[in-house]
Amino acid sequence: MELSDLAKELDSFYDIGKKRRERNALIQCFGIKYADVIAENNIKPEDIVEKSCLKGTAYATEIRKGMKLSEYVHLKEGSGL
């Protein structure tokens, strides 16, 4: 998965979060789901945010939080994510 693919996925997670009024939580879910891909490809969360439609470094922080959480949690099956 390339940077542009991750950016599109991040936009998708953000849109879902916007509808649910849980934007930050869904960005963390993105970090949980794609933590291994991001780490294995040495991609910086800031680069993903910059390539996406989102603006601001706070979103990169939320991705990092999700990446840390990925060591302890998994997304529920059937969550649509």
What is residue 61's DSSP assignment? H
- Lookup: tokens for 4: 């542009």
Mean pLDDT value of segment 67-73 = 96
Residue 79 lies in a domain: no
**Sign of torsion over alpha carbons 59, 46, 81, 65:** negative
Write out pLDDT tens, residues 12-68: 999 999 999 999 999 999 999 999 999 999 999 999 999 999 987 789 999 999 999
Residue 24 lies in a domain: yes
* Predicted TM-score (pTM) above 0.85: yes
- The pLDDT score that the predictor gives to residue 78 is 76
Which residue type is seen at 46? E
Domain coverage including residue 14: 3-69
Write out pLDDT tens, residues 3-20: 999 999 999 999 999 999
What domain count does the chain have? 1
CA 78 from centroid of its chain's CA atoms: 18
Residue 41 lies in a domain: yes
- The pLDDT score that the predictor gives to residue 57 is 77
Q: Which of 77, 71, 69, 61 is nearest to 29 (CA)?
A: 69
Residue 12 lies in a domain: yes
- For the chain, the C-alpha Rg in angstroms (whole number) is 11
